[in-house]
Amino acid sequence: MKNMDNRTEMPAPRRSGPAGASETPRQGVLTLFFAGLGYVIFHLRLGQSLAATVLHTLAQMLLTAPYTIGFTFILIFVYRRISGQQQRPPWTRVLRIFFAVGICFAFFFALYEYGGGDPYAIDTRAGDFWRGVFQKLRLH
């Protein structure tokens, strides 16, 4: 393109972020898949059998889900407030944030469990509630 001075203008470089996507749709799906896979791996709790492993892993995901959802909501709110965007980010970005926050919580819960703690043995009403739920599911 030429402007009034007969100089050629260079096109603006592509930016990553909301204004211009820096990854192809295929790369976006792959990174989302690997983020989800990491989320599952960090929540993985091994048991005596495959059924026990699946049940304990799902129990771990249910244990961290309220924290993960809450922090994801807060992070998206702060992101929107700081960036000045009126609409929420795309669902793939929200899921990536959810997976990242979930991985952090799973890591710290695993440290607590492997250090000898029992996250279900909390002496509160919430702990009693979850203990009852898991006893009904026969996880403990």
Predicted confidence (pLDDT) per residue in 53-101, tens digit: 999 899 899 989 999 999 999 999 999 999 888 888 888 899 999 999 9
Q: At 20, is the pLDDT very low, low, confident or very high (cuts 50, 70, 90)?
A: very low
Residue in the structure block whose two tokens are 């026990």: 52
What are the contacts of 87-94 at 24+ separation with CB within 8 A? Answer: 89/18, 92/28, 92/32
Domain range summary for the chain, segments of one domain joined by +: 48-136
